[in-house]
Amino acid sequence: MELNKSESSFSVNQLVALNRFLYIYKGIGIAVTILCLVLGFTCITLANKNPIVIVANDNEFSYYQGRHTQVELNENNIKHFVEKFVTKYYNWNELNPEEIFKNIEPFITDGLKENTLSNLKTRKEKEFFGKKIKQAVAGISVQVTKESTIAIFDVVLRVDDIPLIVPTQVALQLVKGVPTEWNPMGLYVNNITIHEGR
């Protein structure tokens, strides 16, 4: 069987056209690969670059050059964390266990969450049932040692608008965990021992 000249040139023309398309697609593939490598390199470079931090206070902006480093916790950081935790746990205008729990949840471990919520519910349902309760803290003093972290403060408890001052001491067991948006230090309360009335 013989191919005539027109069929033969048609097949060759198709192969030549297909070959051109393959060269075009090969060029596009190489260009896309190079572009992806450049973008990947740029992303890695920018991710490792020190960030610029902008702090906005009222109408004033302050610019700082940040660094990618691990921050070592010192005694002042721990004291600040404990003061913040005590304030969130003990300052409230209404004994609402869910709201109080929501405020302290980013600062406690999973093992302490269920126990804390049940203790708050017990206080509402048994100790202060049907009473209008407000609570605040005053004079927080934090002592940090290698063995323990203790916060000493006064709880100002208002029961039906009658103020009661309860001297309180709280021993906290702190553990280091994963930093989060709500807990950037990564410190968590793993256990709480409360002594009321010194």
Over residues 11-21, the pLDDT tens digits come to 888 888 888 98
Domain 75-196 has CATH 3.30.70.1230: no
- What are 80-92's pLDDT values in tens digits? 999 999 999 999 8
Residue 1 scores a pLDDT above 60: no
**In the predicted structure, residue 25 carries a pLDDT above the cut 80:** yes
Q: Percent of the chain beyond pLDDT 70?
A: 93
pLDDT at 144 over 70: yes
Classified as helix, coil or strand, 88 is helix
Helices (H), the chain: 5-48, 75-90, 97-104, 110-122
Assess whether pLDDT exceeds 90 at residue 124: no
Average pLDDT estimate for 57-67: 83
Segment 151-171 shows an average pLDDT of 90
Q: Provide mean pLDDT across the span 22-26.
A: 92
Q: Tell me what the pLDDT averaged over the chain comes to.
A: 86
What residue spans define the domains of the chain?
A: 5-65, 75-196
How far, in Å, CA of 34 to CA of 41, rounded? 11
60-74, 79-93, 96-110, 137-151: the lowest-pLDDT one? 60-74
Taken in order 22, 27, 31, 36, the sign of the CA dihedral is: positive
Query: How far apart, in whole angstroms, are the C-alpha atoms of residue 77 and residue 87?
Result: 15
